[in-house]
Amino acid sequence: MDRFDTMRVFIRVVEQRSFTQAAQDLGLPRSTATDAIKQLETRLGVRLLQRTTRTVSPTLDGEAYYRRCLVILGDIEDAEAAFAGAKPRGLLRVDVQGTLARRFVLPGLPMFLARYPDLELFMGEGDRWVDLVREGVDCVLRVGEPRDTDMVARRVAMLAEVTCASPAYLAEFGVPTSIETLQGHRMVGFRSSATGALLPLEFIKDGVARNVTLPTKLSVTGAETYSAAARLGLGLIQAPRYNLEADLERGTLVEVLPDHPPAPSPVSLLYPRNRQLSPRVRVFIDWLVEVFADAGRSA
């Protein structure tokens, strides 16, 4: 195993806090990963990792060496990609919210993968918070204001939001004509997957955002369940318009208070601040910016 391969093993051990998991990620026997790190520590003359029966963590020297390895391997990838005809290669791991993946990402993937035939894409799907470094994920695509200051956030779109309910719900509770007439209505609650807090409805009036929390019989954490509950007449919801377009066209959901829409939601790509972008991540980010720009022009 050469020095660069050893660096890659060391990086994964630090990020996974486990020799076993790092070896699995890299397709190596655990003994090979263990021996590589032992030889590395011997060559450098320092202890890089603290080992216990349950976990592995970097020493101060190990943390410094880890950061240098990230820079060195990133520089190597950039240098190789700079030559004429060189294209990004290898496994790209991303995490995308399911509705975003199906609406925006998947339709253009055949063209993207044809453009970069040496790339392999692993796309996780979920709304949960992802520890990019620990889980070996290169970047995530999320809706909402980024809160993780350890991540670099690149905004790629602003999604229009809509307030709506089912015809059956409006027949029972009436059609609200102003924010003030929402008294007596109820909402399907949506809880933050990060905090568990119930998110209020938001309305823009005279350029100012007003939050309204209505009684709820049901609260959920999933986008698909949220819209399904609205179709069943369980309350008002607010969601990105693109996700409800089919319902609005069919009449299974009806937009209300269109003069006081919620503020649009930002869509951002997040990636670790302490990592130099690899060529494969860079081309994926640039491609997604194109995807959302085209979607905005056609909207």
Q: How far is CA 196 from CA 46, 125, 190, 221, 277, in A?
A: 44, 19, 9, 8, 32
Distinct helix (H) and strand (E) counts, the chain: 11, 15
Phi and psi at residue 192, in whole multiples of 5°? -60, 130
Which residues, 6+ apart, have CB-to-CB distance to 268 below 8 Å? 141, 142, 146, 153, 154, 155, 156
| pLDDT in single tens digits along all 299 residues of the chain | 889 999 999 998 998 888 998 898 888 999 999 999 999 999 999 999 998 877 899 999 998 898 888 878 877 776 776 665 667 877 788 888 878 888 889 999 999 999 999 888 888 886 666 666 566 678 888 887 777 667 788 888 888 999 999 999 999 999 999 999 999 999 999 988 767 889 999 999 888 999 999 999 999 988 889 999 999 999 999 999 988 999 999 999 999 999 999 999 888 888 877 666 778 888 898 999 888 888 765 55
Give pLDDT tens digits for 59-99.
999 988 988 888 788 777 767 766 656 678 777 888 888 78
Domains of the chain: 3-81 (1.10.10.10), 90-149+275-298 (3.40.190.10), 161-263 (3.40.190.10)
C-alpha 190/C-alpha 170 separation (Å) is 20
Give pLDDT tens digits for 240-282.
998 899 999 999 999 999 999 999 988 888 887 766 677 888 8
pLDDT of 7 reads 92
List the one residue out of 1, 8, 31 whose CA is nearest residue 19: 31
Which residues, 6+ apart, have CB-to-CB distance to 155 below 8 Å? 266, 267, 268
Say what angle helices 19-26 and 3-16 make with each other, to 10 degrees. Answer: 130
Sign of the dihedral defined by the CA atoms of residues 66, 68, 70, 73, in that order:
negative
The pTM score is 0.66
Q: By three-state DSSP, how is residue 193 classified?
A: coil
List the one residue out of 269, 265, 280, 231 whose CA is nearest residue 92: 280
pLDDT of 110 reads 94
